[in-house]
A and B are shown apart, each in its own frame.
Chain A
Amino acid sequence: MRVNGKGLVDRNSPLSFTFDGRRVEAFRGDTVASALLAAGERLVGRSFKYHRPRGVMGAGSEEANALITVGSGAARDPNVRATVQEVFHGLETTSQNRWPSLDFDLLAVNDLAAPFLGAGFYYKTFMWPRKFWERLYEPVIRRAAGLGALSREHNPDRYEKAFAFCDLLVIGAGPAGLMAALTAGRAGADVILADEDAVMGGRLNGETLEVDGRPGADWAAAVVAELASMDNVRLMPRTTVTGAYDQGTYGALERVAHHLEDRGDRPLECFWRIVAKRAILCAGAIERPVAFRNNDRPGIMTASAVRTYLNRYGVAAGRTVTVFANNDDAHRTASDLVAAGVHVAAVIDSRDDAPDSADFPVIKGAQVCDAAGRKGLENITFRTALGEDKIQTDLLAVSGGWNPTVHLTCHMSGRPTWDPTIAAFVPTPGSVPGLTVAGAANGAFSTHEALQQGMAEAKAALSDLGVKPAGVDLPRAEDGEYEISPLWSVPGKGRAWLDFQNDVTVKDVVQAAAENFRSVEHMKRYTTQGMSPDQGKNSNIGALAVLADATGRGIPETGTTTYRPPFSPVSIAAMGAGVQGAGFAPQRFTTSHVASVGHGAPMIEAGLWYRPSYFPAPGETTWRQSCDREVNMVRNTVGICDVSTLGKIDIQGKDAGVFLDFVYTNTFSTLPVGKARYGLMLREDGFVMDDGTSARLGENHYVMTTTTAAAGPVMRHLDYVHQCLVPDLDVSFISVTEQWAQFAVAGPKSRDLLNALVDETVEDTTWPFMGCAPVTVQGVKGRLFRISFSGEHAYEIAVPSRYGDSLFRLLLARAEAMGGGAYGMEALNVLRIEKGFITHAEIHGRVTAFDVGLGRMVSQKKDCIGKTMSERPGLSGEDREMLVGLKPVGPVKQITAGAHLFEKDADPVRVNEQGYTTSVGFSPTLESYLGLAFLRNGRARHGEEVKVVDHLRGITARCVVCDPVFFDPEGGRMRG
């Protein structure tokens, strides 16, 4: 219930939201958890395995119990911490992992079966009969497991990513963080202060402590106001630094709009990559529970959470409160409650020497050993030397001490150090280069120490950064000793929870140790302790202590498991922001794209590019009809195809020829100016990397063509060869792929078409086969190459890209007037298969020049990349699979790509496999399916009949092996 006069929530801004359909009243500044507690809702969730009733346990992002689903429909957001979700009017929340309702959950039957469901039980059963695992056991287990549910619909929300840079990143805005930011900010350093809470101040907002003689929360607000006024300081509230990475890079999740009723165009979340020269971790500490029988009842909370709800939210989480502690700090909970008029039944302290209080009874040397009240705490049982007794109470505030939030210091393989004086792990200095730790995160638990360390670490950082510190006074604050006597679990019967979320109890850990899962990593993996959504923030140290006890070792020898990023969970949508739909990779459009689409061409992906598949003519209903027509068109009249996507690299310098001789297997230094040559490029391991045509434009000037797919890798390769192997050569490269729009004009009428278009006269003397020269098109200077990928008399004409659209339309109009037209990728593919020209379907990374019949292109007169390794015995010879052509000769006329080849009478099984098909197409020219394939010793087997088997598609064809050049083998059409 609300306590008048307490809290930072805005009592003048009432609002309401729903929980499981019920209306809940709240104030601006509340979280779902504080509002539910104010409304007396104690049961908020069900546990993972036993479906035990659970209530709010803490007040931070490490919450183990109060996980809810926010929203509905496509935008529903499961596993949201009720302790973090700020309320707004109309917010819709529901409980999880229960059916049919939170109050009555059928799977709570698991709790009764608990003796059979202990640690690792599933490794020992469900093995018989074998088929039942997938059919019965696993589906049942899967349905019972899991917490919230995804909507199964596409994410409808906007997310964003961003980069930020600073001199100093301060992580956490409690007393240490505020002091660090103030010290650095006043000195003029470039500071980012990030805090996961909506309101900066950390514990100061949840306590009644004073700083500089005024309430801590007021001091914090004043410091935040000053920082906000500084241009050199950036405040990032609602931002959790989630990971520490190499060279001062930090990941951080900003919850931008989860708290807004109307978020407009704002992203829901933003994932930041923050690069900081220095960082100070001021992430505070997390209070830990104590394991005792039924310590998971709704109404059992951490002592600091009870204080936070009282002081920050003005909520008393119970009417009759009992405190159970092993340290002084928790006594503050009782003091604050009494001061606010809430009844405190007793403080039960495990220490014999616990301090007394005038305001509440302190029962010393006592331990709570049981709790009753399934859906809400009713009473607890405690034990002293005198025996057991009960207290009627509806809220138990527990403190087993504090664990410094060391997580980020472990993200780069660092391990924390055990500090017996506070019975906790503290950061090991130097674990993350450039990051230091201050305050409670460093095991310094008094406010004075936090302020002092924050200031000192900021000064040290300023010194590193070469920034002169400005005057900042250390404010006065309490400097109480932190007195603690370790207590991890209370002995006794029944189940005592360590990991609330995964339902791991003390018994499970003890059993794991008995089964020889004695390494802390084994225990974790066997029991699943620490693998729950809180990643063990509430349970790791307790479980470790129980394991240490069970194995007769100390805590430091037992060691810890590793903390890994993220510190708190990060949505996939945030880290993967900006790509939903087409944004995963840039889209590259040719200059003819709009015109092609205008002609009805379906556009298909070719790497990042889009290219036309075919250009349907009126009356055509299948792609094959269009493709056949386009092939015939190129063979008989003229076709136009945009080939701009091929990589083009401008190569200049007096050593350009020598350089090309080194990267190509064949020789380019002897190529005459004005001529082009087909080149083959190997990787250093001797396999084919890429092929293409390179032309010599001038004495010291070439333009290289690469395949579309290899444009980037070839550029990288050329830079590598130059800079790393032959830097003395005078040669430079630059990609001109984008500069030129280039179109193939192919077919018997191609020359006629061009002569009507360009200023020059195109004839065999000016443009012989493989000739190239400048050309003028309607006054625009371009380049014309007499090269062919279709086997026809053909050209490629290039103009600056700004004219690409216009030239394509013009070429198309001219071609159509001559009975030709545009052709797409399907026809291009058939045309090149008919000619046996290879693409990356053939040069797929595993083939050699020998395999594709180009062994003679590896010049013996010079060295080149890949030459030596290509001479390894395994890269040539009759055991290699060699490029061949295939034609059906049996009743089945179809061949498919990806089929395997067998001798004609062999069984189609692996040991008999002889090769495979790479490219197939129906040739309208030869009226047959044609296939390119690799066949073992294939060049010696022309004329042999083989069996081509496609099991997947149920096609087995008899084919004759032939030369891969099916059409015009002499090349008369191309050269003529």
Chain B
Amino acid sequence: MRLTCPQCGERDRREFYYVGDAVALERPAPDAGDEAWEAYVHLRDNPAGETRDLWYHEAGCGAWLVVTRNTVTHAVLDVVLASDVKGGGA
């Protein structure tokens, strides 16, 4: 499997660390309540098909990436920097 890092270009899967659903980007407020936190930390859509997940280019540039991917075909549809998704532009 290969992912195209926006910084480094196409790289082998062995350079990346995986953390799971990109829901991780949407951290609830501390007082959002049990259900919101349960949904954030534990519950997953876990789709058989297109999904968005978070990868870390650990052996490369150190960027966290949001990857849009198909869990059935392993096709990679899009890779963007997580910091861009979070709207952290200067």
Contact = CB atoms under 8 A, between A and B. Distances in A.
Contact of A684 (B2, B41, B63): B41
Interface in B36-54: 37, 41, 54
A724 interface: yes
B64 A724 contact: yes
B2 A275 contact: yes
B52 to A, nearest CB: 12
A245 B27 CA distance: 35
Contacts of A247: 1-2, 10, 74, 76
B16 to A, nearest CB: 11
A719 B30 contact: no
Interface string B71-90: 00111100001110011100
A273 B11 CA distance: 13
A727 B75 contact: no
A60 interface: no
Contacts of A716: 17, 56, 58
Nearest to A720: B64
A92 B83 CA distance: 62
A489 to B, nearest CB: 37
A935 to B, nearest CB: 28
A275 B14 CA distance: 14
A863 B74 CA distance: 37
Contacts of A275: 2, 12
Contact of A249 (B1, B32, B64, B81): B1
Given A723-B63, A724-B54, A868-B37, A245 B82 contact: no
Interface residues of B, number: 31
A249 B56 contact: no
B56 A720 contact: yes
A863 B29 CA distance: 9
B25 interface: yes
Interface in A432-460: 433
A153 interface: no
A719 B64 contact: yes
Contacts of A869: 37, 41
B56 to A, nearest CB: 6
Contact of B64 (A273, A433, A684, A723): A723
Contact of B1 (A245, A684, A868): A245
A113 B81 CA distance: 67
Given A249-B12, A685-B41, A719-B62, A725 B86 contact: yes
A797 B88 CA distance: 38
Nearest to A863: B30
Nearest to A727: B88
Interface in A715-772: 716, 719-720, 722-725, 727-728
Interface in A866-908: 867-869
Contacts of A685: 41
Nearest to B74: A246
A723 B83 contact: yes
B30 A727 contact: no
A556 interface: no
B8 interface: no
Interface string A244-284: 01111100000000000000000000000101000000000
B82 to A, nearest CB: 5
A869 B58 CA distance: 27
B62 to A, nearest CB: 6
B74 A727 contact: no
A761 to B, nearest CB: 41
Nearest to A864: B30
A685 B38 CA distance: 10
A413 B48 CA distance: 15
A23 B13 CA distance: 50
A924 to B, nearest CB: 43
Contacts of B37: 868-869
Contacts of A249: 1-2, 12
A381 to B, nearest CB: 52
B25 A725 contact: yes
Q: Which of A248, A413, A716 has the most CB of B within 10 A?
A: A716
Most buried by B among A245, A413, A868, A869: A868
Contacts of A863: 30
A687 to B, nearest CB: 11
A720 B19 contact: yes
A723 B7 CA distance: 14
A727 B81 CA distance: 11
A863 B76 CA distance: 35
Nearest to B31: A868
A868 B2 CA distance: 36
B83 A246 contact: no
B3 to A, nearest CB: 8
Contacts of B62: 719
Contact of A246 (B2, B19, B87): B2
Contacts of B87: 727
Given A245-B1, A716-B56, A867-B30, A727 B83 contact: yes
Interface of B: 1-2, 10, 12-13, 17, 19, 24-25, 27-28, 30, 32, 37, 41, 54, 56, 58, 62-64, 73-76, 81-83, 86-88
Given A249-B2, A723-B81, A727-B87, 13 more contacts: A246-B2, A246-B74, A249-B1, A413-B73, A684-B27, A720-B64, A723-B88, A724-B54, A724-B82, A724-B83, A725-B86, A868-B28, A868-B30
Q: Which 4 A-B pairs have the closest CB atoms?
A: A727-B88, A247-B2, A246-B1, A727-B83
Interface of A: 245-249, 273, 275, 412-413, 433, 684-685, 716, 719-720, 722-725, 727-728, 863, 867-869
25 contacts: A246-B1, A246-B74, A247-B1, A249-B1, A413-B73, A684-B41, A716-B58, A720-B54, A720-B56, A720-B64, A723-B64, A723-B81, A723-B82, A723-B88, A724-B24, A724-B54, A724-B82, A724-B83, A725-B25, A725-B86, A727-B82, A727-B83, A727-B86, A868-B30, A869-B41
